[in-house]
């Protein structure tokens, strides 16, 4: 039984450009089969018991299987003049969608997983930064984050995560950057390399579900964002892909 708070959120289910080009996507959302397709000029998402709410933003189709609790969150970078949005494609990952999101919030792994690209020893220290749950937008924000990065592009990079099941997700690495010169293929190859390095971690964390029991995993100060994220998930009942009690 999936809770209303989970069902009433927006989830990415396809690249808008592919659906608009006439491709139909048969996929899963929260364990249920859905079909994303073009009907006339409208993108529709059909579930077993009828159509889902749909919107298109940031190059993606988003669906809500319940009654949308709010509009889709804004990504101000996506609309910033001069930013170039890069479609990297999709990567299937055998992990909880919540683990995939949490990894995007983590910087301490850069020197070890993205060695000499996003980080490098001995520059491993994570200085104190600030984390807040902004009540007005209901979002987790980390600010004043500084880190030594040998090659990071001046970009806003992250990922868009579709929860297929509690232990399986599709991730679209996503970036919006100030760069009009680097060839598209090079940017895509770079971002794919980075995310495949992340996947080698995500598919080897035990358990596959994200533990929300505080006794199960030991955080430090560098994990303030992850701590806030786990609290926020728990408070909002967004527990699809989470493990509540240690097994």
Partner 1 sequence: MKTDWHAAALARDVPPKVVVAAQFDGVELAVWRSASGKLSAWKDRCPHRGMRLSHGFVRGETLSCIYHGWVYGTSGACQHIPAHPDLTPPSAIRADAYDCIEAGGVIWLAPLGTASAPPDLAGLTPVRTIFVNASAAQLSAAVPNLRGDHALRGSVDMGGAAVELCLLLQPRASGGVAVHLLCADQADRIRASRWLENLRRMAEEGIAA
Binding stretches for partner 1 (CB under 8 A): 106, 108-109, 111-113, 121, 124-126, 200-201, 204-207, 211, 216-222
CB of 60 or CB of 99, closer to partner 1: 99
8 A C-beta contact, residue 140 and residue 225: yes
Gap between the Cα atoms of 42 and 20, Å rounded: 9
Q: Please, what is the minimum distance in Å from the beta carbon of residue 217 to partner 1?
A: 6
* Closer Cβ to partner 1, 111 or 159, answer by number: 111
Q: Are 238 and 6 in contact (CB under 8 A)?
A: yes
What is the smallest separation between the CB atom of 64 and partner 1, expressed in angstroms? 30
Q: How far is the CB of 206 from partner 1 (least distance, A)?
A: 5
Q: Are 194 and 173 in contact (CB under 8 A)?
A: yes
State which residue, 75 or 120, has the beta carbon closest to partner 1: 120
Q: Which one, 34 or 131, has the nearer CB to partner 1? A: 131
Integer Cα distance of 88 and 192 in angstroms: 7
Question: Distance (Å, rounded) from C-alpha 64 to C-alpha 199?
Answer: 26
Residue 207 beta carbon to partner 1: minimum distance, rounded to whole angstroms: 7
Contacting residues for 98 by C-beta, under 8 A, at least 6 apart: 209, 210, 233, 238, 240, 241, 242
């Amino acid at each position: 039984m999936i809770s209303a708070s989970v069902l009433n959120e927006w989830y990415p289910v396809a690249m808008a450009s592919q659906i608009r080009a006439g491709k139909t996507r048969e996929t899963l959302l929260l364990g249920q089969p859905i079909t994303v397709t073009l009907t006339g000029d409208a993108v529709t998402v059909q579930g077993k018991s009828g159509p889902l709410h749909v919107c298109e933003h940031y190059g993606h189709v988003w669906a809500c299987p319940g009654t949308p609790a709010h509009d889709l969150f804004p990504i101000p970078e996506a609309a910033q003049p001069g930013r170039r949005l890069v479609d990297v494609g999709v990567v299937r990952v055998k992990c909880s969608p919540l683990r995939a999101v949490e990894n995007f919030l983590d910087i301490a792994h850069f020197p070890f997983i993205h060695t000499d690209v996003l980080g490098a020893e001995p520059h491993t220290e994570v200085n104190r930064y600030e984390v807040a749950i902004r009540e007005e937008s209901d979002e987790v924000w980390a600010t004043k984050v500084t880190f030594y990065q040998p090659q990071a592009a001046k970009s806003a990079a992250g990922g868009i995560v579709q929860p297929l099941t509690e232990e399986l997700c599709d991730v679209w690495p996503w970036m919006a950057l100030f760069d009009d010169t680097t060839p598209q293929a090079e940017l895509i190859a770079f971002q794919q390399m980075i995310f495949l390095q992340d996947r080698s971690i995500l598919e080897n964390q035990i358990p596959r579900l994200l533990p929300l029991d505080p006794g199960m995993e030991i955080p430090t100060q560098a994990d303030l964002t992850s701590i806030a994220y786990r609290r926020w998930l728990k408070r909002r009942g967004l527990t699809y892909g989470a493990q509540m009690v240690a097994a």
